[in-house]
Structure 1
Amino acid sequence: MDAWPAKKNKISSAPFLWDYSPAIPIIAAVISLSVISNFLATSFTDPGILPRAENIEVIELDRQIAEEHNPHHDPAVPRPRFREATINGERVKMKYCTTCRFYRPPRCSHCAVCDNCVLMFDHHCPWVGNCIGQRNYCYFYRFVFCLSVLILYLFSCSVAHICLLSQNMPFGDVMRKTPGSAVVIIICFFTIWSIFGLSCFHTYLLCSDLTTNEDLKGIYRKKRRAAVQTSTSSAPDWHNQEPKNPFYSGSLKSFTGRLFKSRLPSVLDANGYINDQPTIVIQVPKFPPETR
């Protein structure tokens, strides 16, 4: 192509690059569809919300706690704030949620924006308008990864468009004929750093089998804890041990497991019916007359 006819001067790079290879704009369209589909899936998929405990469940939980920690039913004894579970030899604390009224499972956290407990809570994303949790994290990662690839691809195509036109006309005329490509280059240049950095950060989280919430809190960070034992104590310094992630099973297994594992079913009621005033029936055992 030694000359580019004036009637074919377009703002978009796609018609120009189509003559070089139709695959160039087709690939951009496929990546764009992938970004949009994963964005919608992230926004409208239940992230793993746990329904709040009903009154009968709270009564049963209090009965079990009373048998375990308060056998004399002393009302002055408060409900334990934490419970412990052993996972792969490591003790994991489960905190009681006063809003949802149950002990949160491991890696579950209460979202202050959605006001719900979410399984494997990562963070609340305002850009998709939803929490990122166990059931939609794979869609979120694919959305961020495909978006970073799309930005790089659009940046490269726009630069190629301007460079090819610059071979046959002055650079000033190129800018006047293809202002869209210049705008795309500027937008991509200033957005790629944050999007590509976010993609790399979540790739690190996947390989480490961590969530954003766990990483920011430093729960399993490889840092030695501050020693609190006195110099006269001969007990082992367990405070100076490195905390281990009980869920980590290798970088490759963690990466593939969280991205390609089958999605767990939602535990929310599909009917959406909530009884605000449930009826609780307590059956009193009947004793024979001679045993009264």
Structure 2
Amino acid sequence: MPPPESPDSGATSAPSLVRTYRVWQGSNVFLFGGRLIFGPDVKSIFISVFLVLVPVAVFCAMVARKLLDDFPHYSGWSIMAVAIALTLFVLVTLVVTSSRDPGIVPRNAHPPELDDYYWTDSINGTNPLSRLPRTKDVIVNGIIVKTKYCETCMLYRPIRASHCSVCDNCVERFDHHCPWVGQCIGLRNYRFYYMFILSATLLCLYVHAFCWVYIRRIKDSEKISIWKAMTKTIASIALIIYTFVCVWFVGGLTVFHTYLISTNQSTYENFRYRYNHQVNPYNRGIIKNFAEVFCTRVPPSKNNFRSKVPKEPLDSHRRTDIGSFSPVLKRTRRNMELVGSSINNERDEESDYRDGFNNESRRKDSELTEKSLNLSRTFPTEGEEGQENGQPGPVYEIIAEIPDSTAEVGESNWAAKPSYSNTA
């Protein structure tokens, strides 16, 4: 009879599976089993819905209802019908903007591996690069554009992407995080956001205009001054003031984003790069810029929030500092084997990672630990002195040089080649 399996032997037991949205590392809120994704400030949607529905309800009850019989051939009913249709369109675009994936870039489990030429110097006895380059250059329409490395998502961001500090995600063509819709505005929901603010502006103007029409009807029917007519319909005065204030807000946003679309900019790029004073590499002309936003297919989401993935501890990917450099260590070990070098790990290095391993796993992996790399020698810091033999040696400063040839768009493995200068 075979002995019972120990609880620590996880190799033979199948890992439990959970939906992706249940172990999502961002700050998003999911509804209906991961079918809808919202930002962490999803409650602000209810405020936006309230600010739309209440004024429209007052307009229909106190203004549009009294204009039903003032126009021939029952055309007065069209005033209320248009108001209701505009309101429904505003609410639909609000929900669609808020509840869909704005273009979240999936995170990497580990940092990307460096190209082989990063490690050629290690064979000659020099020190390899200890961290990935912070930026890399790509060419867009003949113009060099820098893309940054995201420490949180462990990837080089796609062109025009940025990391939202509210949702804690990298978003493609990031525009801004809108607190009124409780969601990031990016590649996959920008057109719906623009339709939301545009329809909200039209709704404000519509209600504002017909409130004045109703006041004018009172003035003409009772033969009184405009001021006395205004005192007879307080609801119209309140709606006029309310819509006047709102149209400056949503109307201003509509004008601003119309300008951004015509010049193919995002809000983030407009405030950060100021393309008015330099060439915009994404501008293709007004017609093509509008066609890019409204006449192209919305790309599918890169995330399947309902797919099943193995359930892991929340900090399994952060158990040790060494975890984030695992691809680097594997590449370093391969190069060290080529030159026939064997480096023993010192006991002091073992204590740096003591918090991430328990005593039992350390006994099982003791053989591997004794052959592991000495990180203090593999990744020297600036100003470190001494070599393996204890004799003082030269100090090397890592300098990242940008090569003459930069990568074209779509090359994700490009990085600046490092060189080393002797500073001592």
Fold match (TM-score > 0.5)? yes
1:13 aligns with 2:84: no
1:253 paired residue number: 288
**Which amino acid in the other structure matches residue 82 of structure 2?**
I
CA shift, 1:137, in A, is 0.2
Correspondence for 2:297 among 258, 262, 274: 262
User: Does the CA contact (< 8 Å) of 1:11 and 1:178 recur in 2?
Assistant: no
User: Does the CA contact (< 8 Å) of 2:118 and 2:128 recur in 1?
Assistant: no
**Which amino acid in the other structure matches residue 292 of structure 2?**
G
Q: Deviations over 1:244-273 (max 9, x none)?
A: 222211111111221231110001123264
**Which amino acid in the other structure matches residue 291 of structure 2?**
T
Moved more, 209-218 or 176-185: 176-185
CA shift, 1:77, in A, is 4.2
2:191 paired residue number: 138
1:80 paired residue number: 133
CA shift, 1:192, in A, is 1.2
- TM (norm. structure 2) is 0.55
Moved more, 74-83 or 259-268: 74-83
Matches within 5 A, 1:1-292: 12-19=62-69, 20=71, 21=75, 22-55=77-110, 58=111, 61-64=112-115, 67-73=116-122, 74-75=127-128, 77-169=130-222, 170=224, 174-175=229-230, 177-219=232-274, 221-223=275-277, 243-271=278-306, 273=309, 275-276=312-313, 277=316
Moved more, 198-207 or 83-92: 83-92
Task: Please give the secondary structure, in 1, of the residue aligned with 2:217.
Answer: helix
What is the aligned-residue RMSD (CA, Å)? 2.6
**Which amino acid in the other structure matches residue 192 of structure 1?**
V
User: Does the CA contact (< 8 Å) of 1:70 and 1:77 recur in 2?
Assistant: no
Count residues with an aligned counterpart: 249
Q: Deviations over 1:133-156 (max 9, x none)?
A: 000000000000011111001000
Structure 1 residues 257 and 193: alpha-carbon distance in aligned structure 2, compared to 1, 3 A threshold: same
User: Does the CA contact (< 8 Å) of 1:13 and 1:161 recur in 2?
Assistant: yes
Structure 1 residues 110 and 216: alpha-carbon distance in aligned structure 2, compared to 1, 3 A threshold: same
Q: Deviations over 1:48-93 (max 9, x none)?
A: 01121013xx2xx2243xx243433434543211111112211111
Task: Please give the secondary structure, in 1, of the residue aligned with 2:159.
Answer: coil
Task: Please give the secondary structure, in 2, of the residue aligned with 1:33.
Answer: helix
Task: Please give the secondary structure, in 1, of the residue aligned with 2:148.
Answer: strand
Distance in 2 (CA, whole Å) between partners of 1:68 and 1:28 is 65
Q: Deviations over 1:216-258 (max 9, x none)?
A: 1125x232xxxxxxxxxxxxxxxxxxx3222211111111221
Distance in 1 (CA, whole Å) between partners of 2:164 and 2:206 is 35
Structure 1 residues 196 and 79: alpha-carbon distance in aligned structure 2, compared to 1, 3 A threshold: same
CA shift, 1:167, in A, is 1.6
List gaps (5 residues or longer) in structure 1.
Answer: 1-9, 224-242, 283-292
Task: Please give the secondary structure, in 2, of the residue aligned with 1:263.
Answer: coil
Task: Please give the secondary structure, in 2, of the residue aligned with 1:266.
Answer: coil
Distance in 1 (CA, whole Å) between partners of 2:93 and 2:287 is 23
Task: Please give the secondary structure, in 1, of the residue aligned with 2:68.
Answer: helix
1:238 paired residue number: none
Distance in 2 (CA, whole Å) between partners of 1:76 and 1:29 is 63
1:290 paired residue number: none
CA shift, 1:97, in A, is 0.4
Distance in 2 (CA, whole Å) between partners of 1:132 and 1:152 is 25
CA shift, 1:173, in A, is 6.2
Distance in 2 (CA, whole Å) between partners of 1:256 and 1:268 is 26
Task: Please give the secondary structure, in 2, of the residue aligned with 1:205.
Answer: helix
1:237 paired residue number: none
User: Does the CA contact (< 8 Å) of 1:11 and 1:181 recur in 2?
Assistant: no
CA shift, 1:177, in A, is 4.4
User: Does the CA contact (< 8 Å) of 1:158 and 1:184 recur in 2?
Assistant: yes
Distance in 1 (CA, whole Å) between partners of 2:227 and 2:139 is 68
- TM (norm. structure 1) is 0.78
